[in-house]
Amino acid sequence: MENINKLEKIKRPWVVAHRGYSGRYPENTASAFEAAIGAGADMIELDVCLTKDRIPVVIHDQTLERTTDGHGLVSEFTLSELKKLDAGSWFSPEFKGESIPTLEEVLLQIRGKISVNIEIKPESYESAGPADAIEKQICIMVEKFGMNESVLISSFEHSFFPRIKLWHSKDNNQTSLRIAPLQEKEFSEENVLKLCKGTEAYSFHPDERFLTPSLIKILKASSFRTIAYTINDEKRIEQLAKWGVTGIITDEPELMWKVLRKLNSNE
Ligand code: G3P
Ligand code: MG
């Protein structure tokens, strides 16, 4: 479902495919996104950073070694250099030739098919905020493709958020993209709520280890959604579904569907 407004009507947790269907396909590649759509995910999650020539590309690590046959920092290579790398073979020989996609390519691939959680990597944050800063490029691209209602922006770097809000209010005079602070360390419930209010968040994305039923309840009472990452264990998916999370970010969308079907049949 490509429109987040429609997802809001769903009573079960949203199936959010982490880096695409990364349990079975090479993460953050066209194959993984296609497979996530095929598996009936509600949303894909992907990671974005900038190349040397300042193009937003979809890759998780700052370095190339783990998921490509390249070496060094992503930010030290131009897009045309990065495009020569193989981003599939590390996962399995059958994916040889898969390339690092640009954000633009992925948005065009998924437009009209599924919504997307774009995670901006903190290393791409620039305090000077140049005209082609990553967050501005994303806002412009999403707007150009008419995808404002399909996109949720998250980051561990919360300083991106006021800029996204500002871009929409000043330059564009329209409602901001949905925003989601990510959590990597333990915060008190009070601080989580403060963070969500301060950033005018749409949802809060906690590391599942820090999630409690009470936090979900407190956030819900203030109309904030909770989308937890990254859960691949059946029992834990079941538990979080019972706690009433809005969404679960998983490498295994089909496994999550299996759990949801089981819960549904038990009702
Ligand atoms: O967006 C949820 C999750 O992807 C955050 O952590 O390291 O997998 O990008 P990471
Ligand atoms: Mg991520």
Which atom of ligand 1 has the smallest separation from the CA of 121?
A: 9
How far away, in angstroms, is 183 Cα from ligand 1 center? 10
SS3 labels along the chain: CCCHHHHCCCCCCEEEEECCCCCCCCCCCHHHHHHHHHCCCCEEEEEEEECCCCCEEECCCCECCCCCCCCCEHHHCCHHHHCCCCCCCCCCHHHCCCCCCEHHHHHHHHCCCCEEEEEECHHHCCCCCCCCCHHHHHHHHHHHCCCHHHEEEEECCCCHHHHHHHHHHHHCCCCCCEEEEECCCCCCHHHHHHHHHHCCCCEEECEHHHCCHHHHHHHHHCCCEEEEECCCCHHHHHHHHHHCCCEEEECCHHHHHHHHHHHHHHC
Nearest bound ligand to the CA of residue 47? 2
| 156 C-beta neighbours (distance < 10 Å), count | 16
Mutate to test the pocket of ligand 1, among 119, 183, 225 (most ligand atoms within 8 A of CB): 119
Q: How far is CA 229 from CA 17, 80, 149, 156, in A?
A: 10, 32, 22, 13
pLDDT of residue 172: 67
pLDDT digits 0-9 by tens, 161-218: 999 998 878 766 777 899 999 998 888 999 999 999 999 999 999 999 999 999 999 9
Q: Which two tokens stand for residue 71?
A: 């070496």
Task: Give the structural domain span for 58.
Answer: 4-266
Q: Calculate the average pLDDT of the chain.
A: 96
Domain count, the chain: 1
> What is the model's pTM?
0.97
Ion ligand 2 residue ranges (Cβ < 5 Å):
47, 119
| C-alpha closest to that of 14 among 223, 225, 212, 181 | 225
pLDDT of residue 39: 98
Q: Supply the CATH number for residue 115's domain.
A: 3.20.20.190
| C-alpha closest to that of 54 among 109, 18, 104, 98 | 104
Q: Ligand 1 pocket by C-beta < 6 Å: which residues?
A: 18, 45, 47, 60, 119, 154, 182, 205, 229-230, 249
pLDDT of residue 78: 98
pLDDT digits 0-9 by tens, 95-111: 999 999 999 999 999 99
